[in-house]
Amino acid sequence: MPKRGYHHGNLRQALVDAALMLIEAKGPTGFTLSEAAKQAGVTPAAVYRHFEGREDLIAEAARQGYEIFADVMKYAYDKGQPSALAAFEATGRAYLAFARKYPGHYIAMFESGISVNRTPDLAAVSARARGVLEKAAADLSEHISPDKRPPAAMFSAHIWAMSHGVVELFARTAPGSQSPFSPEDLLETGIGIYLRGLGLIKPDD
Which pLDDT band holds residue 24 (cuts at 50, 70, 90)? Answer: very high
> CA separation (Å) from 135 to 56, 74, 151, 169, 191?
31, 10, 11, 27, 17
How confident is the model over 87-125, as pLDDT tens digits?
888 888 888 899 999 999 999 999 999 999 999 999 999
User: Percentage of residues in the chain with pLDDT exceeding 70?
Assistant: 91
CATH number of 58-197: 1.10.357.10
1-51: which CATH topology?
A: Arc Repressor Mutant, subunit A (1.10.10)
Report the alpha-carbon distance of residue 180 to residue 186 in Å, rounded. Answer: 10
Q: What are phi and psi of 77, to 5 degrees?
A: -60, -50
Say if CB 167 and CB 96 are below 8 A apart. yes
Helices assigned H by DSSP within the chain: 11-26, 33-40, 44-47, 54-80, 84-101, 103-110, 120-141, 152-166, 183-197
> CA separation (Å) from 130 to 70, 95, 135, 157?
8, 11, 9, 9
Q: Report whether pLDDT(200) > 70.
A: yes
pTM of the predicted model as reported, rounded to 2 decimal places: 0.85
Say if CB 57 and CB 13 are below 8 A apart. no
Q: Which residues contact 148 (CB under 8 A, 6 or more apart)?
A: 198, 199
Q: Where do the CATH 1.10.10 domains begin and end in the chain?
A: 1-51
Say if CB 73 and CB 90 are below 8 A apart. no
Report the alpha-carbon distance of residue 155 to residue 126 in Å, rounded. Answer: 18
Q: What are phi and psi of 8, to 5 degrees?
A: -90, 5
Q: Where do the CATH 1.10.357.10 domains begin and end in the chain?
A: 58-197
Cα-based angle 114, 120, 125 (whole degrees, multiple of 5): 80
Q: What is the mean pLDDT of the chain?
A: 86
